[in-house]
């Protein structure tokens, strides 16, 4: 059996496991027990299948058996683009739990087959190295430190682990439905490749993650309200990757054309929701607020400081973000009299 990734890191704090009850998250639950990692679980019930309520009950029962807390969240999502909206709801739930209960890490049970399926789909859409790698073993998403300990385990090894120990898990019948793009890649391409080349595939992803870390300069975004800012990296590719990660953490997935525009333009409006601007050594991201009536004094100070016009609408309505922008533009902070 393979080791869990970042095991020493997980021993340093308390983790929250995203638990569906399927093979992957069930295996990770028991592997964490074996490794004596301190963790609780969080389960989201989307009510999409007849077994959804039973799976929620099973998650609660399993947590009680091993003296773990189980947080549950129920939501019903109609309409199109279910996967994207489900992801938004899921991570909003995790973020709330991290903030309220102080969890150090959020663990997901993505594994090697998931990684290969993602790479194949991105390759067919036209993507660069960071997008091809996609699912990283450790990353930040807003206030969440995501860790994926199972990324070097393939699906066959996970199911063998569960079988050998007679550990029950839920089966999601939608995984066989080829109306979903991921399932087409899974059944026709990634599963046969994994059976034949799993060790080489595992090594390749290890090298890809190492290479990506060397190529990309990290962007450590800070925020005041909904104004995010970070030192602008020297490489355009690092800028695109950093902005994409930040905006994704806000619940929006950038389109390929929007990423291309980031390479060409100093100022971009993303999805008519966010404005991205690189100026004076910083990259700023803020909500895009158009049609805001601003007073003359504010507009004049923005002009004098060189504040990008598309940022001004949001800054006008958020005094703390405006003061942060003034400081970043070199306006001295007044001395306090007390």
Which domains are assigned to the chain? 7-215 (3.40.50.620), 222-328 (no CATH)
Two tokens, residue 163: 């079988």
pLDDT digits (tens, 9 = 90+) for 261-279: 999 999 999 999 999 999 8
Rounded to two decimals, what is the model's pTM?
0.79
Segment of 108-122, 174-188, 201-215 carrying the highest mean pLDDT: 108-122
**Maximum Cα interatomic distance, the chain, rounded to a whole number of Å:** 73
Element (H, E) at 138: strand 138-141
- Nearest-angstrom CA–CA distance, 120 and 109: 19
Least confident segment among 24-38, 88-102, 269-283, 323-337: 323-337
Average pLDDT of the residues in 62-69: 97
pLDDT score of 29 more than 70:
yes
pLDDT digits (tens, 9 = 90+) for 132-167: 887 889 988 878 999 999 999 999 999 999 999 999
pLDDT score of 100 more than 90:
yes
- Nearest-angstrom CA–CA distance, 153 and 144: 23
> What is the structure's pLDDT at 334?
55
Burial string for 7-29 (b: 16+ CB within 10 Å, else e) reads: eeebeeeebbbbbbbbbbbbbbb
Query: Taking all residues of the chain, what is their mean pLDDT, rounded to a whole number?
Result: 90
């Amino acid at each position: 059996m393979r080791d869990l990734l970042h095991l020493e890191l997980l021993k340093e704090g308390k983790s929250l496991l995203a638990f569906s009850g399927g093979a992957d998250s069930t295996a990770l639950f028991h592997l964490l027990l074996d490794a004596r990692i301190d963790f609780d679980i969080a389960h989201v019930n989307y009510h999409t299948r007849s077994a959804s309520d039973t799976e929620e009950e099973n998650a609660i029962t399993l947590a009680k058996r091993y003296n773990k807390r189980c947080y549950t969240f129920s939501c019903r999502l109609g309409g199109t683009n279910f996967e994207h909206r489900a992801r938004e709801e899921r991570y909003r739930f995790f973020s709330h739990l991290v903030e309220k209960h102080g969890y150090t890490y959020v663990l997901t049970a993505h594994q090697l087959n998931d990684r290969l399926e993602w790479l194949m789909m991105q390759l067919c859409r036209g993507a660069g190295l960071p997008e091809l790698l996609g699912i990283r073993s450790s990353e930040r998403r807003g206030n969440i430190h995501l860790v994926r300990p199972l990324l070097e385990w393939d699906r066959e090894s996970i199911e063998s682990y569960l079988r050998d120990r007679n550990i029950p898990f839920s089966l999601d019948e939608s995984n066989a439905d080829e109306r979903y793009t991921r399932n087409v890649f899974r059944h026709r391409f990634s599963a046969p490749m994994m059976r034949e080349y799993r060790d080489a595939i595992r090594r390749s992803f290890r090298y890809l993650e190492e290479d990506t870390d060397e190529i990309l300069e990290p962007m450590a975004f800070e925020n005041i309200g909904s104004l995010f800012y970070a030192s602008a990296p020297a490489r355009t590719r690092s800028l695109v990757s950093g902005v994409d990660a930040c905006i994704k953490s806000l619940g929006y997935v950038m389109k390929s054309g929007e990423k291309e525009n980031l390479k060409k333009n100093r100022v971009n409006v993303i999805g008519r929701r966010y404005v991205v601007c690189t100026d004076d050594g910083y990259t700023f991201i803020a909500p895009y607020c158009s049609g805001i009536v601003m007073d003359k004094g504010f507009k004049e100070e923005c002009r004098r400081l060189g504040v990008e016009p598309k940022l001004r609408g949001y800054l006008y309505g958020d005094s703390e973000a405006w003061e942060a922008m003034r400081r970043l533009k070199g306006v001295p902070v007044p001395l306090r009299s007390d």
